[in-house]
Every structure is written in structure tokens, then in C-alpha cells.
Structure 1
Amino acid sequence: MNKHIVSAICGCLFFVNGFSQDKNIGELLNEIEQNNTELKGYQSFIESQQLENKSTNNLPDPQLSGYYLPFGDNATGNYTEYEISQSFEFPTVYGSRNKWNDLKSIQLQTSYSKKRQEVLLDAKTVLIELAFFQKQKDIETERRTQSKQVFDQIQELYNKEQVGILDLNKAKIAWIQEQFVVEQIESDIQILLTKLKTLNGGNVIDGVTSSIALPIEVGTAESLWQEKLAKDPLLQELKANETSSLQKIKLEKNKVLPNVALGYNYQGVSGSNYSGFYGGVSIPLWSSKNKVKAAEANYEYQQSNTQVVTTSLYTHFQETYNRYELMLEKFNEYQTTMSNLNSEQLLFKAYMLGEYSFMDYYVELQFYRNASDKMLQMEKELQLLQAQLLKHQL
């Protein structure tokens, strides 16, 4: 494994050729995080939800009521009464609900972390694909130049009547195909740059033209999984949901306690009046029915959901890690075999020296080009798999 990692680290220098020397990938992702419109909007949503949650723990509004009764026989004078009162839940309810609100804030933060991870993983994927196309463009541009040289040479031989029209047409088609490939890659690059601009809040990301290194080592499966358990936003969200639902049980149990009302009352009849304190108790016999059971059932669901999602996530993680290991091994074999061949250049020189006919040259060339393209494609897939395995680090 260590041998594979060392050679793969060397290989990553071959792969990435699409970013500024002044900005590493972390700086680029940080810039996107700061400017991304979706994340900014989600932060505003979280703030509004936190304020709304806090408002649920406010006291009810004070109540002022009064009576003035001038009708009737009024033998003792007109009757006047007013009362001002403040009702509130049992004091322990507010402390329990405040803890629940704090836990819901943590839930919102883990939800934001998950959304942030999705955005940055999308951005990292685009950056990896952009690097792949930049490298591919350099290769195809060189191939286009060689195809033009071959076509020019065959055109000259055709003019001298040393080759037939079929060879000339084949050489021209090969050159036209290479031109199209380069143009298609340039179009793909522009699409990716537009997507990056969108992810960056409509701002162009400067300096995505030179190389940065993307390390390819990911560590052992066990150590990586333990790291994901501690840091992955999805797993943190599941834990936050559990903790919050457990606190909801405590809150609902506290809400079974009676509500209280305190106030001041005045009653008066002409020349005589009474005033004093008012107190009342509201026993929540009906409003709290089944709420504790519902909260307990929700807690059991959250525990079960955490276990199910964690198991599913671990299965997916193992599949991705195994694919990564297998592809890394195959990539290293490809790289070891092809690193010193320099086959395309040697074939081109041999053709220019007349050692190959055009058809022999073209057939041999396609074989090595397909192998080279396959290795480059494998390297891109390795980087994408690595991004999936290490997304909890974003």
C-alpha cells in the first residue's frame, strides 16, 4: 500500500494542471464559500429560525380587563371592576424549553454544515474536472499540431504524386478530428468556468491557469471511517436530532405541571372599594395529553434512524474505498508501464523519417493515445473518488 501511495503521489503531479500557483484548492473553496449565494441565503434562514425558536419561550402578553356596570337598580351605586394579570407556565418549563432551543440551534448549524459540504464538494468536483480538461487540452493541442504536420507532409507528397488521394483524405480527416476535439474541450472548459462563476456568487474566480497539487493519500479505511464519524456533518446532524428529541421529552414532562397566573384586582361601588392580589392555576389536563408519548416515540425513531443511516453510510463508504483502492492499483500499473515509453513522440519521429506508412503510423498512434487517455481518465476518477472519501474534511 505504501508503495502505491508513493507512486500515486508522484502521479498527482502529472494530473493537475488547471489552477493558479497563487491559490491552492483550499483557498479557492474558501472564496466560493464566502461568495456562494445559496450559503448566504441559508445563513439568513438559520438566523430567522433561531429568532423564531427563541420567541416560543416568551411569556404570554399581560391581560387587562375591566367592568363598568351602570345599569340596574344601582341601589348601592355603579359597580366598577378592573384586573391586570400575567400568566406563565411553570418556571421549570422555561429552562427546559431554553435548552431545547439551544439544541435546535445546533441542529440548524449541522444542517448548514451539511449544505456547505454539498456546495463545496460540488465546487471541488468542478475544479477536478477543470484540471482534467486543462491537461487534456494541452495533450490534444500537441496532437493537433502533429496531425497538421503529418497532413502538410502528405499534401506535399501528394503534390509530387508519391501518395494517393486516399492517404491525403485520411490525413486531412485525422487533422480535422483533432481540431474538433480541441474545440470541444475548450467548450467544456467554458461550461465549467461558468458553473464555477455561479457557485462563486456570480464572481469570476481569477487565476485558474497553472498547477496545484492535490495529494492522493487517504489513509486506512478504519482511520478514515473514525474520522468521518467524528466530523461528517450528516452524522453530526443525526446526533443533534437525537439529543434534541431527548430534550423534547423533558420539556413535555415539565409542561404537565400547572400554569400560573398572578395579578392585581380592583372592585368598587360608590364610596366603597376592594383591591388586592389575584392568583390562578390552570391545570393542563387535556392540552398535554399524549404529548410525552409522542416525544418518546420520536426519540425512538431518531435513534433508529441514526443507526440505519450510519449503517447505510458505512456500506457506501466501504464501496467507495474499495473502488478507490482498486483503481489506484490499476493506475499505478498503467503509470509504471507508460511513464518511460514516450511512444507518441517516438512514433512521430519514426513516421517523419519514413519508417512507417501513414496507415501503420495512424493505427499504432491510436493504440498509444487510447492508453494515455485511459490513464488520464483513471486519474480523474481517482481524484473524484478521493473527494467523496474526504468530503467530511471540507
Structure 2
Amino acid sequence: MLKTLLFIIITGLGFQGMAQSSVQEILKEIEKNNPKLQAHQQYLEAQKLGIRSQNNLANPELEWEKSFSSQEGKPYEILVSQSFDFPTSYIYKNQIRDEKITNLQNIQAKVRQDILLETELICFELIYRNKQNIELSERLDNAEKLTRFFEKRLQEGDANILEVNKIKMLSLNTKNQLQLVQNKITNLKADLIKQNGGLELNLNELEYPSVSIEEDAKQILEKAVNADPYLNQLSSNEKMAAKETSLVKTNSLPKISIGYRYLGSGLMKETNGMKLGISIPLWENRNKLKQAKLMEHFRKEELSFEKMDKENEYEKLFQTFFSLKSSLSDYQNVFSEKKYDSLLRKALDFGEISGIEYLMESIYYYESFDTYLEIEHEYNINKAKILRYLL
């Protein structure tokens, strides 16, 4: 029977490898075709070029000056010069440049992880809705058979109109629930196609990916925090802020300008020579060091706060995960060992219970099974969020 097959699938006795492969293949396709991920990659490449261009030397200067004095032979002067920051500033600039480029990889990793996690959760909801679809389809088929059965008994005088109407109401409610679930399945498939840049994708699986959490929560928490791209981004920001402080201190030292000067005249002898200039930054760096130190302090505090917030988020996920795991195990034991729907139908066929009793017991069973599917879905959502660092 279809229900028996569903129970086998639910207990994880079959198709686990195939389901895992299917979800993984979808994630691979999304990573390759997602338009947001592709656009962001191009944006980051443009950012890298911009960062590399920031450390270029200042443009050389060319000056030409001419006098219109006839007594001096209308002299003219040509000056070519190049200015430089204090040499140690280029060391810090290069370090900041490298850290910024590294940080772009952290930003890209976060965008990628967010998109893949979003896609994985869409797949999980699609699996959940597919399970609902099978369950409701069987319920509707059973309700329609019951309706015909009780209408026949009503004609024979073995049933009353109240029983028939209640069975019809159950059939109508089940039909509407099934239609809503099928609409959600259609929308979820459309969401997958959108994630894939408009290219066709399909997932008709009835089992979640079989990924176990064998390590203890402390180990996973440590790995998840260390691999978190957002925290890595904030860590890079902290390092850059420290380098920015050092750079501001270096920029307080004089700048140097070196050049070549040529002087020509129709009467005087031509001369040439070198030019050496020093720029003393008395005003332009005012308050910049104080600002840099405040920013460095802020980056440290930001990283510390966000790390605690992330650890707190994972601790909540673990608490929910273990609670759902316990509930899920209890439901699996019940539904895999006792087939209440089959027992109820046998009791009805042998006249041990009335139609109303059968209906009430069936509704109780349906509600319990729906709760089981919901818990299973939430359990896998929490597990995916905990293990997102593996994406």
C-alpha cells in the first residue's frame, strides 16, 4: 500500500542516498546558474580592480613657465616632478590592500552560503509538501470510498444522514487541503527555477538528505563560528582598522617631491638641475589619528558582540534541534509500529465502531500524523542551519 511505502520512507530505510544526491545536485546547479551569485561575483571583481588602483603613485606633474621680457631673452622654464608619501606608508597601504581583497572573498562566501541555504530550505519545504501531497491524496481516496460506503448503508437503513454528512465534510476539507498543498508545490518549484536563473529544476523526493550530527554541540559550534563568513569579514575589518591607525601615524610624516628643472633663454646660458621638496602635513591629518583609533576600537567591539550573538544563535538552534530530535524519534516509533488507520478501518468493517467514532478517531490520527510531518520538517530546517558552514 502507498501508506506502507510512506512509512518505510519516513523511517529512512530506503532512498536516502538518492534523496541526498538529488538535493546536492540542485545546490550545484544553483551555485553555477544563480543570477544573483553571478552578478555579485562580477561586482567583487570590479571591487578588486578598484582596490588595487588605490595604491598607485600620485600622478607626475609637468610645469611650463615663460616670461615675455625681451631684456632677458624671453626665458622659459620646464619642471617635471613626482611626489611620494613617506616610504613606510606604502607598506601599510599594501597590507590594507591585501586585507581588503581577502575580505571580498569573505563577502562572496557569505552571499554564496545565504543563497545555498535558502535553496536548501526551499528543497526541504518541497519534500515536506510532497509528503503532505501523498498523505492527503490517500486520505481523499479513503474519504471518497467511505462516502460511497455510507451512502449505500444509508439506503439500506444501516446508517444515518448525520454520518454521511460528516464523511462528506471530511472529504471536502481533505480535497481543499490537497489543492492548497499542490499549489504550494507548484510555487516552490517555481522558486527553484528562479534560483536557477530560469533553468528547469525538479525535485520530487520524499526523503530529506541523510546528514547526521555525530560530533558534540561544542565542537560543531566552534567549527561553525570559525567558518562563518560574516565573522571572518568582521575579523578582517578589525585587522584593517589597526593597519589604518598605523597608516595615519605614518601619514603624519613629511611627503617628498623629487623633480628635474630646465631653464632656457635667448640671452642667458641654459641651465638645468634637480628639485627636492618636502611637504609637512601640519593641518590635513588633524583629528584623523583620533578617528582611526576610535574606529579600531569599534571594530574590536563589533567583532566581539557579533561573535557572542552568533554563538547564542547556534545555542538556540541546538536546543531546538535536540528537542525536535526527541519528539521526532517518539513519533517515528509510534507510526512505524502501529498502523492506526488500518486498525480503524478493520474495526469499522466489522461493526466494532460506528461511523462517527471512526471519523473522530481518524481526525485524531490525521492531526497526529500532520504534527509528525511538521516536526520532521522543522527538525531538518534546524539541522541545515546548524550545518550551513558545510555548504
TM-score (norm 1): 0.90
Distance apart, 1:19 and its partner CA: 10
Query: Whole-Å Cα distance in 1 between the matches of residues 182 and 65 of structure 2?
Result: 83
Shift of 1:78: 1.0
Give per-residue Cα distances to partners, 1:276-303, cap 9 Å, x unaligned: 2222111222222222222222111111
Shift of 1:207: 4.8
The CA deviation at 1:362 is 0.4
> Following the alignment from structure 1 to structure 2, what is the Cα–Cα distance between the partners of residues 88 and 16?
70
Query: Given the superposition, is the C-alpha separation of residues 297 and 218 from structure 1 closer, same or farther in structure 2, using an over 3 Å criterion?
Result: farther
C-alpha distance in 2 between matches for 1:381 and 1:17: 21
Which one-letter code corresponds to 2:138 in the other structure? Answer: E
Distance of aligned partners of 1:12 and 1:140 in 2 relative to their CA distance in 1, 3 Å threshold: closer
Moved more, 17-26 or 195-204: 17-26
- What's the CA shift string for 1:253-296, capped at 9, x where partnerless? 22222222222211122142111222211122222222222222
SS at match of 1:24: helix
Correspondence 1:274 to 2:271: yes
Once the two structures are TM-superposed, the CA of residue 97 in structure 1 deviates from its matched residue by 0.6
Query: Does the aligned pair in 2 maintain the 1:16–1:131 contact within 8 Å?
Result: no
CA distance in 1 between counterparts of 2:218 and 2:210 reads 22
| Superposition deviation, residue 58 in structure 1 | 0.9
What is the distance in 1 between the residues matched to 2:65 and 2:279? 23
| Contact in 1 for aligned 2:153/2:159 (Cα 8 Å) | yes
Correspondence list, 1:329-340, <5 A = 329-340=326-337
Residues 16 and 210 of structure 2 are in contact (CA less than 8 Å); yes or no, is this contact kept in structure 1? Answer: no
State the distance in 2 between where 1:56 and 1:257 align: 20
Residue 352 of structure 1: which of 349, 352, 356 is its match? 349
Map of 1:4 onto structure 2: none
Q: Give distance in 1, aligned partners of 2:214 and 2:295.
A: 37
- Structure 1 stretches lacking a partner, 5+ long: 1-9
Residues 138 and 17 of structure 1: CA distance in aligned 2, closer, same or farther (over 3 Å): farther
Q: 1:11 to 1:386 in 2, by over 3 A?
A: farther
The alpha-carbon deviation at position 383 of structure 1 amounts to 0.6
> What does residue range 149-298 of structure 1 map to in structure 2 within 5 Å?
149-209=145-205, 211=207, 213-217=209-213, 219-271=215-267, 272-298=269-295
* 2:4 matched residue in structure 1: none
SS at 1:114's partner residue?
helix
User: Are the equivalent residues in 2 in contact too, given 1:15–1:132 (CA < 8 A)?
Assistant: no
Tell me if structure 1 keeps the 8 A contact 2:150–2:159.
yes
What is the CA–CA distance in structure 1 between the aligned matches of 2:271 and 2:10, rounded to whole Å? 89
Q: Specify the SS of the correspondent of 1:339.
A: helix
2:157, 2:201 → 1: CA distance? 53
CA contact (8 A) 1:121 1:387 kept: yes
Deviations 1:73-111 (A, max 9, x none): 522311111111122222322232111011011222112
Partner of residue 373 from structure 1, selected from 361, 370, 373:
370
Letter matched to residue 44 of structure 2: I
Q: Which amino acid aligns with 1:103?
A: E
Counterpart for residue 3 of structure 2:
none
Among 113, 116, 120, which residue is 1:117 paired with? 113
Give the letter aligned to residue 344 of structure 2. Answer: L
Find the partner of 1:128 among 119, 124, 128.
124
Give the CA RMSD over aligned residues: 2.3
Distance in 2 between residues matched to 1:340 and 1:224, nearest whole Å: 33
**What is the CA–CA distance in structure 2 between the aligned matches of 1:15 and 1:51, rounded to whole Å?**
53
Separation of aligned partners in 1, 2:79 and 2:138:
91
Structure 2: runs of 5+ lacking an equivalent? 1-7
SS at match of 2:62: strand
**1:137 deviation in Å?**
0.9
Letter in 2 for 1:282: S
Cα offset for 1:51? 1.1
Equivalenced residues, count: 383
Mark the CA change 1:11 to 1:311 in structure 2 (over 3 Å): closer, same or farther: farther
- Supply the distance in 2 between the matched residues of 1:20 and 1:336 (Cα, whole angstroms): 24
Larger deviation: 317-326 or 138-147?
317-326
The 2-side partners of 1:12 and 1:27 are apart by: 22
Q: 2:140 aligns with which of 132, 141, 144?
A: 144
Three-state SS of the structure 1 residue aligned to 2:270 is: strand
Q: Tell me the CA shift for residue 151 of structure 1.
A: 0.8
**What is the Cα deviation at residue 222 of structure 1?**
0.8
**Aligned position for 2:25:** 27
CA–CA distance in structure 2, aligned partners of residues 100 and 198 of structure 1: 38
Distance 1:189 1:18 in 2: 21
Separation (CA, whole Å) in 1 of partners of 2:331 and 2:203: 31
TM-score, normalisation: structure 2 = 0.91
Give a deviation string over 1:95-141, Cα, whole Å, max 9, x none.
32111011011222112211222111111111111111111111111
Quote how far apart the aligned CAs of 1:22 are.
8.7
Structure 2 Cα separation of the partners of residues 88 and 187 of structure 1: 67
CA shift for structure 1 position 334? 2.4
Report the identity percentage.
26
Q: Report deviation, 1:344.
A: 0.7
For residue 324 of structure 2, what is the amino acid of its counterpart?
Answer: M
C-alpha displacement of 1:212:
5.6
CA, structure 1 residues 194+103, in 2 after alignment: closer, same or farther (shift >3 Å)?
A: same
Q: Residues 83 and 257 of structure 2 are in contact (CA less than 8 Å); yes or no, is this contact kept in structure 1?
A: yes
SS of 2:158's equivalent in the other structure is coil
Match of 2:46 in 1: 48
